[in-house]
């Protein structure tokens, strides 16, 4: 493994569905970086990377990939990265994370690449096009290239410019919509309006780019939850994105919003309230063909997932199934879900041993710390995923 010390930059976050993608960093951190709910990039300065820097990283990744394929051939596997090759790499002392990330990407054969960090469409169009073209030249096997961006950044580019970027190789843009309710967007210092979200989504779609919009259940707290659910759905109804991804609000102590929890100006939704909010949101989605996903462990109800309009009733039934549980079973499900034991309310019946174990744990915590202790335990379990 001659290139074991070859390195390239990678950023701190990515969408869960891109976990097996090739990761390359085009910009550093976030150019906005003011959102009260966001724990990432705080106290970090945004910077653009030069095209030459990025191209060198792509070449480094390519050299590592070639080295791994050469190792495979040496081991008698004809360049294929299989279990034996992965084992040889991960058991080799001194193998760095960059080398391992490329090995995993080749192993899973996703042929996908995610470009980091928070807002790569802020790059000049000609620079982003040059990077995308070079990436495809070096990795012709890549079939999907995706990135994060902000609605406010997208609307600064014309449909023609976005079309150039799409033709150069960018297939999908992930947008942190979070909410479509203007007073809430202002409160959370999102720096965008519902109308700008709509315009950005429409421009990307007109350019032929897939659009993935992130929605944050719970962001309105107990004060604005209804308006948040309804107005967010209405904004999405006007966009009709390819994907709507749910990412429920969490507020650990290092997030700016936490100070508002402490002074009482913001009150979190309980899980039961959150279920009602999600139901209202799904019910208000209308006239679109988006795929809804709840693919994150922070979400209470993972099964709120499907293609609209056909799966709308199925998604609403997931919410109703949770609401129909007894108070005790809702508590057991919440603890099991936050602890990673449950993915569905049906799991309560499928695994009696786990059910009894969680029930016993809840009873112990309640005896020692009271009901607040149970809520604290559940919060600590889910916050560890942030």
pLDDT tens string 259-268: 999 999 999 9
Confidence of residue 332 (pLDDT cuts 50, 70, 90): very high
Beta bridge pairs of residue 144: 112
pLDDT tens string 134-152: 999 999 999 999 999 999 9
* pLDDT of 130 higher than 60: yes
| Coil vs helix vs strand at 328 | helix
pLDDT tens string 201-221: 999 999 999 999 999 999 999
pLDDT at residue 3 in the model: 43
Q: Whole-model pTM?
A: 0.94
Residue in the block written with tokens 């922070």 = 298
pLDDT at residue 2 in the model: 47
Confidence of residue 1 (pLDDT cuts 50, 70, 90): very low
* pLDDT of 342 higher than 50: yes
Confidence of residue 310 (pLDDT cuts 50, 70, 90): very high
pLDDT at residue 94 in the model: 80
Cα separation, 155 vs 162, in Å, equals 10
Nearest to 289 by CA among 303, 314, 302, 306: 306
- Cα–Cα distances (Å) from 106 to 68, 87, 235, 335, in that order, read 9, 13, 38, 36
pLDDT tens string 190-206: 999 999 999 999 999 99
**Range of weakest confidence among 18-22, 31-35, 336-340, 356-360:** 336-340
Burial status of residue 42 (CB atoms within 10 A of its CB: 0-12, 13-18, 19 or more): middle
* pLDDT of 4 higher than 50: no
pLDDT at residue 92 in the model: 86
Please state the three-class secondary structure of 148-189 as a single string. EECHHHHCCCCHHHHHHHHHHCCCEEEEEEECCCHHHHHHCC
* pLDDT of 79 higher than 50: yes
As a whole number, mean pLDDT of residues 36-52 equals 94
pLDDT tens string 150-192: 999 999 999 999 999 999 999 999 999 999 999 999 999 999 9
pLDDT at residue 384 in the model: 77
**What order do you get walking across the sheet with 243-246 strand by strand?**
22-25, 112-116, 144-149, 172-178, 210-215, 243-246, 291-293, 306-307
| Coil vs helix vs strand at 307 | strand
* pLDDT of 71 higher than 50: yes
| Region of residue 305 (left: phi > 0; alpha: psi -120 to 50; beta: else) | beta
**Range of weakest confidence among 4-8, 79-83, 322-326:** 4-8
* pLDDT of 120 higher than 80: yes
């Amino acid at each position: 493994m001659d290139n074991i010390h070859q390195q390239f930059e990678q950023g701190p976050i990515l969408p869960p569905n891109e976990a097996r993608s090739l990761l390359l960093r085009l910009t550093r951190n976030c150019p906005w970086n003011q959102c009260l709910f966001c724990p990432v990039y705080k106290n970090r300065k945004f910077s653009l990377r030069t095209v030459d820097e990025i191209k060198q990283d792509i070449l480094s990744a390519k050299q590592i990939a070639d080295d791994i394929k050469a190792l495979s051939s040496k081991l008698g596997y004809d360049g294929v990265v299989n279990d034996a090759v992965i084992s040889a790499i991960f058991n080799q002392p001194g193998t760095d994370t960059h080398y391992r990330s490329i090995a995993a990407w080749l192993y899973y054969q996703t042929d996908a690449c995610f470009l980091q960090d928070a807002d790569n469409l802020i790059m000049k169009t000609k620079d982003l096009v040059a990077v995308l073209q070079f990436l495809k030249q070096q990795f012709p096997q890549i079939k999907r290239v995706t990135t994060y961006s902000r609605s406010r950044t997208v609307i600064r580019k014309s449909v023609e410019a976005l079309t150039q970027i799409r033709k150069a190789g960018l297939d999908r843009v992930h947008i942190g919509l979070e909410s479509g309710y203007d007073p809430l967007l202002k409160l959370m210092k999102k720096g965008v309006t519902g109308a700008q979200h709509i315009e950005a989504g429409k421009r990307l779609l007109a350019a032929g780019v897939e659009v993935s919009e992130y929605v944050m259940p719970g962001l309105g707290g107990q004060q604005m939850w209804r308006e948040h659910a309804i107005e967010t759905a209405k904004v999405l109804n006007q966009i009709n994105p390819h994907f709507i991804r749910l990412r429920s609000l969490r507020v650990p102590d290092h997030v700016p919003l936490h100070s508002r929890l402490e002074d009482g100006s913001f009150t979190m939704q309980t899980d039961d309230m959150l279920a009602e909010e999600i139901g209202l949101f799904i019910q208000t989605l209308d006239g679109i063909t988006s795929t809804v996903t709840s693919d994150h462990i922070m979400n209470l109800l993972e099964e709120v997932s499907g293609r609209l309009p056909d799966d709308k009733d199925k998604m609403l039934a997931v919410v109703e199934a949770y609401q129909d549980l007894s108070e005790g079973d809702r508590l057991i499900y919440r603890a099991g879900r936050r602890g990673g034991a449950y993915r569905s309310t049906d799991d309560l019946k499928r695994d009696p041993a786990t059910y009894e174990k969680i029930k016993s744990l809840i009873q112990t915590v309640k005896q020692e710390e009271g009901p607040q202790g149970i809520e604290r335990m559940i919060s600590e379990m889910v916050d560890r995923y942030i």
